[in-house]
Amino acid sequence: MPPHHPFTEADIARIGEGVAARTLPKPEWTHAAHFAAAVWLLAQPGRDAVAEMPGLIRAYNAAVGTPNTDSEGYHETITQASLRAARAALVGRTPAEALAALLAGPCGRSDWLLAHWSRARLFSVEARRAWVAPDLAPLPF
């Protein structure tokens, strides 16, 4: 796994705020940036990341020209699993420490969910539209 640039608290805020404002340049919307946005939103007092993140991602996708369809764009199961991972990583850590831990572990790989879901189940229309439980192994958090 390639090493990741160490994200600072300011980097995380810039990414999270950029997604929320729909101003983050599309090439910066990477696997690591998805986790940065999740950590940022989860760390915001009084915000409900589980409820807010789907709308933020859908709006961001629309703003940068990525359609939200049954085959691309927003994916509910991936989003909710990633929020669970980010929430667990934040326990006792700053956002930058949590993001570093996520990216240094299995979640740092873009295919990390395939240890828990079969490819067919994870990339089904059903999983894109709504939470679908893992069919290979439970999530560890």
**How much is the pLDDT for 2?**
42
Please report, for the chain, how many H helices and E strands are present, in that order. 7, 0
CA 128 vs CA 53, 72, 84, 124: distances in Å: 14, 9, 17, 6
Tens digit of each residue's pLDDT (9 = 90 or more) over 53-64:
999 999 999 999
Residue type, 82: S
**How much is the pLDDT for 83?**
98
Tens digit of each residue's pLDDT (9 = 90 or more) over 62-93:
999 999 999 999 999 999 999 999 999 999 99
Tokens 């764009």, residue located: 73
Tens digit of each residue's pLDDT (9 = 90 or more) over 15-45:
999 999 999 999 999 999 999 999 999 999 9
Q: In this structure, are residues 118 and 136 in contact, taking their beta carbons and an 8 Å threshold?
A: yes
Locate the domains of the chain by residue range. 9-129
